């Protein structure tokens, strides 16, 4: 039984775990799709910001600059680096308007040079740059790289590490610059180039760069770049997933999303959901631990309830078996005593002991199995002659007891006589041999419920009547009337 229960529990738990694994995969894939949508919106915002600046700058003209040169500060360092910034003016509305720095070589600080003139012209693009850099938390640095070898950086603190002498080796050979400069003018249009992640020496961190070509007066003027810290990009998606920028991703990475795309331009960026067995178990724990705990508690409670019900059922069966005769199904002595506790009050009570005559001869002649059949058939015959509320029991062997309660005197004699006649008339069979058995009975009648409940005395008196019936020739019933409430002889 224990093994069967263990097998049942193992099957149930296996089914639950399999179901929860499948459900966890569905939940995890939903989270994967949601993270992809969040990432797509996040990247879309970054792309649209650059495109907005590109559009705004394309409407400016380089000629006839209205910029007041006296508002600019040109500072030449000992390392021959020219820093160009803007003085704060009374008309300035926001602090971030001055949060930029132009970095160039020494000629940038010389008033009569072409580089100085180009820097002066380019200052007009800074308001849009500083606005975006100052208002967008996820932008680490926004900088414009001019083809004339100067850089405009916002916020200005990020410009202090730039060395103009290394422009060719650093800025112009970065992945995003190579992508832009190697693309034809027709192919650049409003396209945003995405590079990274890569280790940036200036930021001392992994960076992803969004780049877009800038046109002024219809001519290519430089490249505007937005640096985003890689860990900030990943922060918008669930920690179970990660991002790759690979045109040919390996097949064993896990489940791959579709490539991120913006305005019809497909990138190499994909989101990855690891899908190894250990990952699936991790997802199961994260997504379904509450459900599993609930099922576990439910199984434990159900097992406890079933076990309790089984105990009660077994107890009830055992109690029933302990009070009933296994052969005939009748009450035994213990069951009879329990029934007497609930007996209803009547005027008279008659108790009869029935004993089958010469039953040993039946067992010896036809065998005990036939004898058992005789006992069962006799039980059926007696039940047919009595009422439902009359109490029939098997005292043992071929001996039965019958208690009837009634309110009209002498009616019980007819019942007992019918029983005696019916038992004698019912046929029994052993192979092709038919035979009959008779019974003898001793009856005691009383009007005292207390005498009935003290049944041992009543049984003793009925047994004496039975013995007398046997001596008188059997197949008969003898009676004793104690209804005058006189004490019984003990």
Per-residue confidence in pLDDT tens, the chain, 490 aa? 567 666 766 777 777 777 677 777 778 888 888 888 888 888 888 888 888 888 877 776 655 454 556 688 899 988 889 999 888 877 777 777 788 889 998 999 998 898 898 888 888 888 888 887 766 667 788 888 888 889 998 888 887 777 777 776 666 666 666 666 666 655 566 778 888 787 775 657 788 888 888 887 777 788 888 888 888 888 888 888 888 888 888 878 888 888 888 766 778 888 888 888 777 777 777 766 676 676 677 777 877 887 788 778 777 777 767 888 989 999 998 889 888 888 888 888 999 999 999 999 999 999 999 999 999 999 999 999 999 889 999 998 999 999 999 887 666 788 899 999 999 999 999 988 999 999 999 999 988 888 888 888 899 999 999 999 999 999 999 998 876 544 333 3
Determine contact, residues 411/425, Cβ cutoff 8 Å.
no
Question: Tell me, what's the pLDDT at 487?
Answer: 38
DSSP per position, 206-263: EEEEEEEEEEETTEEEEEEEEEEEHHHHHTTS-TT-EEEE-SS--TTS-EEPPPPEET
Q: What distance in Å separates the CA atoms of residue 157 and residue 146, rounded to the nearest whole number?
A: 19
- DSSP state for residue 92 in the 8-state scheme: -
Question: Sheet of 477-481: strands edge to edge?
Answer: 391-396, 399-406, 348-356, 439-446, 477-481
Distance CA 76, CA 70 (A): 16
Provide DSSP, 119-165: HHHHGGGHHHHHHHHHH-TT--EEEEEETTSEEEEESGGGGTT--GG
DSSP 488: P
Q: Which residues are CB-neighbours of 37 under 8 A, at least 6 positions away?
A: none
Query: How many whole angstroms separate alpha carbon 296 and alpha carbon 294?
Result: 5
Domains of the chain: 45-273 (3.30.450.20), 333-481 (3.30.70.270)
405 contacts 386 by C-beta, under 8 angstroms: no
The reported pLDDT for the residue numbered 350 is 92
Who contacts 381 (Cβ-Cβ below 8 Å, separation ≥6)? 419, 422, 423, 426
* Residues with Cβ within 8 Å of residue 339, at least 6 apart in sequence: 331, 391
CA–CA dist 312, 295 (Å, integer):
25
Q: What is each CA distance from 66 to 23, 60, 85, 128, 390, in whole angstroms?
A: 65, 11, 16, 16, 122
Nearest of 248, 469, 87, 123 to residue 256 by alpha carbon: 248
Torsion angles phi and psi, residue 34, rounded to 5 = -65, -45
Whole-number percent of the chain with pLDDT over 70: 84
The pLDDT of residue 181 is 66
Mapped onto helix, strand or coil, the DSSP state of residue 447 is coil
Q: Are 449 and 349 in contact (CB under 8 A)?
A: yes
Backbone angles phi, psi at 128, to 5 degrees: -70, -35
Per-residue pLDDT, 488: 36
Element (H, E) at 199: strand 192-200
Backbone angles phi and psi of 325, in degrees to 5:
-80, 125
Count of beta carbons in the 10 Å neighbourhood of residue 170: 14
92: Cβ contacts below 8 Å, ≥ 6 apart: 98
Q: Is the CB of residue 141 less than 8 Å from the CB of residue 155?
A: yes
DSSP state of 435: E
Q: Is the pTM of this model over 0.85?
A: no
What are phi and psi for residue 240, nearest 5 degrees? -75, -15
With CA atoms as reference, report the closest residue to 202 among 162, 165, 260.
162
- Whole-number pLDDT of residue 276: 80
Task: Give the per-residue pLDDT at 201.
Answer: 59
Instruction: Measure the CA angle with vertex 306, ends 303 and 309; round to 5°.
Output: 150
Closest CA to 79 of 192, 196, 166: 166
Upper half-sphere CA count for residue 246 (Cβ side, 13 Å)? 12
Q: Residue 69: what pLDDT?
A: 62
Round to whole Å and give the CA distance between 472 and 357: 12
**How many Cβ atoms sit within 10 Å of the Cβ of residue 55?**
12
Contacts of 14 (CB under 8 A, 6+ apart): none
Report the distance separating Cα 197 and Cα 230, nearest Å. 6
> 121, 131, 59: which is closest to 84 by C-alpha?
121
Distance CA 442, CA 459 (A): 9
Rounded to 5 degrees, φ, ψ at 100 are -150, 165
Give the other-Cβ count within 10 Å of 65's Cβ.
Answer: 15
**What does the pLDDT read at residue 175?**
65
């Amino acid at each position: 039984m224990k093994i069967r229960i263990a097998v049942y529990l193992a099957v149930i738990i296996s089914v639950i775990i399999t179901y929860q694994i499948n459900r966890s995969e569905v939940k995890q894939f939903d989270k994967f799709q949601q993270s992809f949508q969040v990432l797509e919106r996040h990247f879309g915002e970054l792309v649209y910001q650059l495109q907005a600046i590109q559009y705004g700058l394309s409407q400016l003209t380089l000629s006839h600059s209205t910029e007041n040169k006296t508002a600019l500060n040109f500072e030449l360092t000992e390392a021959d680096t020219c820093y160009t910034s803007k003085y704060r003016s009374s008309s300035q509305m926001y602090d971030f308007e001055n949060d930029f720095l132009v970095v160039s070589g020494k000629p940038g600080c010389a008033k009569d040079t072409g580089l100085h003139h180009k820097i002066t012209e380019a200052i007009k693009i800074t308001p849009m740059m500083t606005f975006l850099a100052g208002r967008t938390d996820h932008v680490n640095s926004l900088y414009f790289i001019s083809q004339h070898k100067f850089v405009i950086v916002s916020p200005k603190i990020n410009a202090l590490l730039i060395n103009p002498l290394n422009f060719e080796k650093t800025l112009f050979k970065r992945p995003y610059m190579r992508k832009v400069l190697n693309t034809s003018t027709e192919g650049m249009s409003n396209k945003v180039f995405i590079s990274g992640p890569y280790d940036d020496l200036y930021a001392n961190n992994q960076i992803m760069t969004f780049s877009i070509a800038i046109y002024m007066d219809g001519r290519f003027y430089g490249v505007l770049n937005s640096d985003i810290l890689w860990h900030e990009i990943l922060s918008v998606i669930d920690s179970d997933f990660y991002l790759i920028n690979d045109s040919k991703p390996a097949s064993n990475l896990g489940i791959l999303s579709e490539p991120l795309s913006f305005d019809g331009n497909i990138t190499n960026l994909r989101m990855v959901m690891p899908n190894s067995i250990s990952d699936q178990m991790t997802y199961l724990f994260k997504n379904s631990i509450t459900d599993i705990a609930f099922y576990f508690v439910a199984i434990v409670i159900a097992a406890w309830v079933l076990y309790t019900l089984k105990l009660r059922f077994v107890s009830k069966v055992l109690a029933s078996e302990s009070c009933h005769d296994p052969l005939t199904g009748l009450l035994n002595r213990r069951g009879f005593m329990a029934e007497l506790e609930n007996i209803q009050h009547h005027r008279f009570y008659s108790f009869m002991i029935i004993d089958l005559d010469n039953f040993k001869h039946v067992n010896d002649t036809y065998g005990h199995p036939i004898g058992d059949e005789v006992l069962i058939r006799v039980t059926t015959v007696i039940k047919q002659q009595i009422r439902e509320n009359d109490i029939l029991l098997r005292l043992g062997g071929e001996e039965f007891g019958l208690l009837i309660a009634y309110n009209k005197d002498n009616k019980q004699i007819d019942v007992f006589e019918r029983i005696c006649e019916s038992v004698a008339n019912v046929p029994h069979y052993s192979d092709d041999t038919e035979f009959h058995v008779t019974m003898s009975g001793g009856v005691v009648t009383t009007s005292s419920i207390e005498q009935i409940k003290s049944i041992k005395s009543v049984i003793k008196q009925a047994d004496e009547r039975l013995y007398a019936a046997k001596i008188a020739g059997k197949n008969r019933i003898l009676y004793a009337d104690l209804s005058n409430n006189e004490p019984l002889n003990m």
